[in-house]
Structure 1
């Protein structure tokens, strides 16, 4: 019994030894194979082999989205003389492109990026970092600035849109006829409105002849101005002969307007038309009429 037990133990140890040897050999082969594959991949990558080519074919480079203008083509912008015009150009997906502004009527290059290429320093490109807005700013706009402007991006191929700038001449207008006739003691009301203005005036001054009268309350004159409404009103509740004369409405950003006020003091309004000279020749004495008739007879003979 004892001998059999000893033989069984020896057989068990031998089986375990064989198992360990086989397992070790298998691990060695596996490690060697894996190392060879890694070397093979590294060599292929280093030599530009098939593995790199296959990866390039599987993952093609992403294309950049095309340039897109948020500002609509043929947009019309209106500015008044003397103001600052802002010609818009909002661009998406500009990438590495450069924005240029060109005045189309003479193909004059105004700006490239943020640099001004025109000798006229009234032109400037306005752009904030990381912004998509490339606005062309024109200071102290003049009538000759009106026309077509091109906003161009140096993509491949270049792409652009066109903006029309209209320049208007703002002017003041006093309602009613250019001459007004009043009786002493009556009220005078002059209403002035700024027309064709793209922005409110900074002020509106009223002049009586050559004197500014906005604050002449002690003279019976009251001026009320609504800048946001682009209007101003002058009122005199009790007009007197001293209030006769030329009245001018002078906005800060528009051409002035004038009207002449006559305060009648027993005069004939018809004789005062056109500065009091229009029909005055009709008021002749009888002797004058006889002299005129005699002259006509002599000429006819």
Structure 2
């Protein structure tokens, strides 16, 4: 690939090249040669080669040498490129070096050129371009390195390594400058937006970088994105996210993520607030409790913006004190209101109202608290003992015992010898006074009281 770097006399402000020296007094020398053939330039410092169909021109801030290629004695082996210039990818702001490996260079010179900008960068060991980020080095063998510090996006493109043989030989390599993604806040939706429930909203996110970044959306809480009533997705690709008839369940933070394969990946967090008037849900509208106990009633509310919530008994607002304890637990647009009433008295029964109010409206729920009797105590079991002791002597008669229900051993449902059906539930067993038997033994007697036949005593052996 050949690059002709042409500069017309008009650019220098003169009618022909012979007047350039008078316009540029800092030049130490100038030489003109009319020729229809190109001229090979061998330079030691900054050089510009100007060509037309009739002449070639060269000037230098130091000394120069203009030598026709016919006067250069050919070497036994002409210069050749030992290996191609690699294509290099570098991130913005990093340093990079491009190698040009030449064998048999001899007295020929090496130049580096930025092809896209047609800019001569270096000639042999001298830097031509007035950009301090560029430099050149030689390992005294066959490798020429073009160094670029703190690479910028303008440095992207093809770079040519050229040797001034006849004909000229050259090779090119491409420098790719990649730029990590960057979200453009000025062109994107603000970090917090508000919308009324059941309206539409569009979220916009724009980013730059190289390669051009890919944008995708997701919800921060991991929930699905509702594009419309029938279309829900976990991830959505594109610069704009359209939410149709948004509801309160879609309130929250949305993340716009920009990625192009160049780290780091960046994201923008956009909080969507869905505004609506308060709503109240009462789990139990009727609550019963006995006098002298504590009771808790509750209401569930939903509202955004955040609502003021409080309780009323009749026309009087309830405040937290020794009698009442109020508590509100909030989660996003939801709130759980709880009211505890201690040591209930007759005046505490009645209709309680939970009220929720925000800038968009007000609503209330009603709970009726009524008295109920206290639960009765559970019956206590009674133990029956025989009046005879282990030695066969009568014991002191026990005090009179109250009537109680007793299972005789013959009707015991857990007795392995049970052969008869137990009595009906209406029947009642009553313990009778003990009687002495002959031989000084005593026994306890139990009978069944029922509206049927007379009671027959049932003896229990000691």
Query: What TM-score comes out, normalization by structure 1 length?
Result: 0.40
Point out the structure with max Rg over C-alpha: 2
Question: Going by fraction, where is helix more abundant, 1 or 2?
Answer: 1
User: Which structure has more RCO (C-alpha within 8 Å, separation ≥ 6)?
Assistant: 1
Query: What TM-score comes out, normalization by structure 2 length?
Result: 0.27
Question: Going by fraction, where is strand more abundant, 1 or 2?
Answer: 2
